[in-house]
Structure 1
Amino acid sequence: MTTTTLPPGPSTPRFVQAAYALTVPRRGLYQMRDRYGDAFTVNVPTFGNALIISDPAEVKQLFLASPDDVDKPDRNLGRVLGPGSMFALVGEEHRRRRKLLAPPLHGRRLAAYERIVEEETTRELATWPQDRAFATLPSMMRVTLNVILRAVFGAEGAEFSVLRGLLPRFVKLGSWLAVLPVPKAGHGRWNPWRRFLAMRAEYDAIVERLITKAERDGHLDERDDVLSLMLQSRYYDDSPMSRSDIADQLLTLLAAGHETTATTLAWAVERLRRHPAVLRSLVEEVDAGGSALLEATILEVQRTRPVVDLVGRQVKTDGFQVGRWIVPEGYVVLVGIALIHDNESVFPNARTFDPTRFLAARPDLYQWIPFGGGTRRCLGAAFAGMEMNVVLRTVLRAVTLMLTDEPGERWHSRGIANAPAKGGRTIVRRRTASRGQAHRAPS
């Protein structure tokens, strides 16, 4: 057997490490980084024995490694999203499915969804109160959910109404179950998995009806929603996706693109209210029809406030080497996203919120990694970027975000995503003919 070389880590029992990971995940990562350096080992129920890295060269090496050496962790979102989810697929089947699903989420297809995003944002903005503090996260959740239902599911009418009520509860529960061990005692009366499976059955029945309606549509090729595009897609052997795989994949797009995108938008509001120079320049650019600073701001929000802590791979061969470390088969190698985003050697003045760092050059996708990296990088990254751009542009054109001197909001774990603890609170005023002014919030 190959000799392993691993860095030190906490020696406390697994259940203690698990409790720490669930209650103070971000603080724990930084404390271990400060104690052990840019790499350390942990032992937690979700992943078991794991190596956490944040050295840029080692992160790049991991993301470029062959799927024969490392692939998705055995325990991941696939167990709540279904066997047809991109999170569950490995090897050649993952590559084939990714190639099949990429076109609907990139390039010219994105332009067809911009109108939907703007419509849903404008509708939600009409409900925002003036001169009264409120959390923006619930609003952003409604916007991104409605966008997903219209652009991805093609849902309308009765199905739209049912899914709008079902999916937030489903995703919230699934986000917690994804990071908790599956109980061995089955799905008893008080087991949350029982409730989760009941919601999944309801979701599957609705998607089955949507697929049947779509297949009966005589103009399927004229539709732009992702469901219709999936139904028309074919593998290289001309075989279609199965209905169960379509249901799993639609759910994946929802889970990966609904809560995380909404949370990033809430963080964007939280950041902009505390950086008047950035907000003022951004409003001026949006009023003039520009987009460079807006795009850079979204990148910087994702760098300074990544909503996911870790992304990882599981070692499939004994003695896999990543940088200084030789990792045994079965180990999970996790990348500390916040740790690399906070690395001064990668991003000078890393603790400073400075969107201008991304004006001159696009980020290195092995160092700026809110969407993960390599062959398993989030398939919906371009869709999420478009959606955040349109939502923020629409918000800044419609309302003035009132500045605040309050401390930045703390991180609050929602299972998978880390949200602002107060929900990205803001105070707004409707824009008038005098544009480009950011105001202090009333005391």
Structure 2
Amino acid sequence: MSPSTTTRAPDSERGSLGGVPPRIRIPAAVVAAMIVLDRRRAMRSMRRRHGSVFAADLPVFGSSVIVADRELVREMFTTPPHLLGQIDQNLGRVLGPNSMFALDGDPHRDRRKLLAPPFHGRRLASYAALMETEALREFDTWPSAKEFAVQPSMMRLTLSIILRAVFGADGQEFERLRVIVPALVELGSRLQVVPVPRLAVLGDHSPWGALARRRREYDAVVGRLIAAAQDDPQLSDRNDVLAMMVQSRYDDGSAMTPAEISDELLTVLSAGHETTATTLAWAVERLRRHPEVLFRLNAELDAGDETLLDATILEVQRSRSVIDLTVRQVMVDEFTLGPWTVRKGQTLIAAMGLVHDDPDVFDQPHRFDPDRFVGGRADTTSPMPFGGGTRRCIGAAFATMELKVVLRTLLREFDVQPTTQRGERWHSRGVALAPGRGGRVVVSRRTPAM
């Protein structure tokens, strides 16, 4: 029987051991190899065999329960942190102990409250012009009528936007961070899904040693930016996030320390740089293979209508989930999720990518169809690219606006050539899932209407 016709037993027929999720009966080493080689295919194979909730021993996360049921994922996201907390895994180690990814409970709540203002309201709207300016500057480097991979360009673009809007970087510091950050983020992303060998961490020539060196270089540059901001007499007139962090105060009147600011800036950069660039690359890849959507999108944007643009972004995020998993750790002796019981110390993994592919949630999920999100239908069956609950990505609104501004500018400036080639395969960059060939594209400058 082919995978597309495999019959999946109802969840009500599984978990007969007192509500314990069905466990995959495959050696842990084999499961680890499957995840490393192709985690997306491995997860889909496991769901076909075991239903929408199943248990497995996974690399890095240990004893885990994978949840691919939309309602149970939503329940996970709204569960208080004293029941489901943040995991003590590599991402906090990569981003630093002061990152929101490493904080939990009240410290996480207080930090989130402190950092929320620049990513909403008028301050957020002020970044739109900067995003368009940086997009035009990057697009000027694009070749005409010659195929190239768009993802490296989008990586440069989203990095430039974040360095200016978030770091307030310019001049020598801007150029230095453009060199340091890509290598730091890429290596950190890959190491986040690799178990930490204790001895290797101490070796200067190990990957973790290389990560530590790059982090020191990053901290040195950001330290200079923080010191300059603290001494800036016009600090209150600045719109960048670093300036806001320097001026912000907790409820007790204390300021963020330079270490806290440095870790949070890297967190914002890591969470918003690669993921947004990869989503843009997937958007180009999808539109080239669906010319009817591309032509309609161009026509509507020319008429000043962004309804289809909003829907297209949602459909790209659904059909090409860049971040397909998010994790929590059970903090109490027993935690009940729907009909299932999960034990203390186990990892709960919300498999958003599997939910996005679920035909019970999205009709014909393998079809690229932005119209599924036109007319308010996104309210009830929206994708979850930014997670949810108290740990929903704090920069979600910033990233969404960036996607809109960049795609709108791209389609205004260029005609994108459709293709009949097969869709690009998925490629794991550690945390993010990217188009395997980088989102190949052919463009030509649009002729202004007379």
Q: Does the TM-score normalized on the shorter chain lie above 0.5? A: yes
Q: For 1:183, which of 185, 190, 197 is the aligned residue?
A: 197
**Aligned counterparts, 1:41-440, within 5 A:** 41-185=55-199, 186-361=201-376, 363-364=378-379, 368-433=383-448
Q: How many Å separate the matches in 1 of 2:19 and 2:263? A: 38
1:366 deviation in Å?
A: 8.2
Partners of 1:124 and 1:139 within 8 A in 2: yes
- Unpaired runs of at least 5, structure 1: 436-443
Partners of 1:76 and 1:87 within 8 A in 2: no
Partners of 2:52 and 2:69 within 8 A in 1: yes
Q: Deviations over 1:74-112 (max 9, x none)?
A: 214111000111100000000010011011011211111
**Alpha carbons of 1:214 and 1:4: their partners in 2 closer, same or farther (altered >3 Å)?**
farther
List structure 1 segments (4+ residues) > 4 angstroms apart after TM superposition: 364-367
Q: How many Å separate the matches in 1 of 2:285 and 2:139? A: 17
**Alpha carbons of 1:362 and 1:164: their partners in 2 closer, same or farther (altered >3 Å)?**
farther
1:357 deviation in Å?
A: 1.4
**Alpha carbons of 1:100 and 1:157: their partners in 2 closer, same or farther (altered >3 Å)?**
same
- Unpaired runs of at least 5, structure 2: 1-16
1:351 deviation in Å?
A: 1.4
Higher deviation after alignment, 38-47 or 154-163: 38-47
TM-score (norm 1): 0.95
1:429 aligned counterpart, secondary structure: strand
1:422 aligned counterpart, secondary structure: coil
Aligned partner letter, 1:37: G
Q: How many residues are paired up? A: 433
Higher deviation after alignment, 247-256 or 360-369: 360-369
Q: Deviations over 1:326-349 (max 9, x none)?
A: 000001111111110111221112
Q: How many Å separate the matches in 2 of 1:4 and 1:386? A: 46
2:31 aligned counterpart, secondary structure: helix
2:289 aligned counterpart, secondary structure: coil
Q: Deviations over 1:184-215 (max 9, x none)?
A: 21411431111110111111111110011111
Q: Deviations over 1:301-339 (max 9, x none)?
A: 000001012112100001100011100000111111111
TM-score (norm 2): 0.94
**Alpha carbons of 1:405 and 1:288: their partners in 2 closer, same or farther (altered >3 Å)?**
same
Partners of 1:151 and 1:226 within 8 A in 2: yes
